[in-house]
Amino acid sequence: MTEGSTPPSAEKDNTDAPALSPTRPDGWPDWLGRRPIPTTERDKLRERIDADRYARDTTRAETDLQLTPHFSYLVIDGLTEEDQPRKRAHLRARISIATRLAAGESRTHYETTEHRITIGIAGPDARDQILALRKENQRIGRGRRWIITEELT
């Protein structure tokens, strides 16, 4: 400023200078040029989104139900007969390998306790895979008193 000059008035600055950003009716800056959504419209929009999501979930569930694979189980009981832990671990490993070979690319479920092993195989040919696995496990368990049962679906 030079001598004798007066500072510009605050009113003049507001009218001449453009606003940095437009403002919305609620006082916040409108950076994206959007208008606020009234609560009723927001509720309607959420209802439509939820209805679409429910329809998609229902359709997906029906499709998954049609594609549900058959699941067959094989239970090997009486594994505690073997006293040597190393030999018992070796037998369990052989059973696990036989399961992987019989199942191939099919989805499997393998649950084990000290006394029992339960093996599940999913897929359209699960029944045949379980029967092949039973035959292999009978060969592995020859001479042992295992009880091998299956549930074929």
CA–CA gap between residue 22 and residue 33 (Å, rounded): 8
Residue 109 to residue 133: CA distance in whole angstroms = 14
Average pLDDT over residues 109-119: 88
**Rg of the chain's alpha carbons, rounded to an integer?**
36
- Pairing mode of beta strands 147-151, 71-77: antiparallel
In the DSSP assignment, the letter for residue 48 is H
pLDDT digits (tens, 9 = 90+) for 76-112: 988 877 778 888 888 889 998 898 888 888 888 888 8
Residue 114 has pLDDT above 80, yes or no: yes
User: In 10 A of CB 105, how many CB atoms?
Assistant: 5
Q: Percent of the chain scored above 70 by pLDDT?
A: 77
Q: What is the pTM of this model?
A: 0.51
Determine the Cα–Cα distance for residues 10 and 15; give it in Å rounded to an integer.
9
For the cut 60, the answer to whether the pLDDT of residue 39 exceeds it is yes
Q: Where are the alpha helices (DSSP H) in 69-125?
A: 85-103
**What's the mean pLDDT when you consider all of the chain?**
78
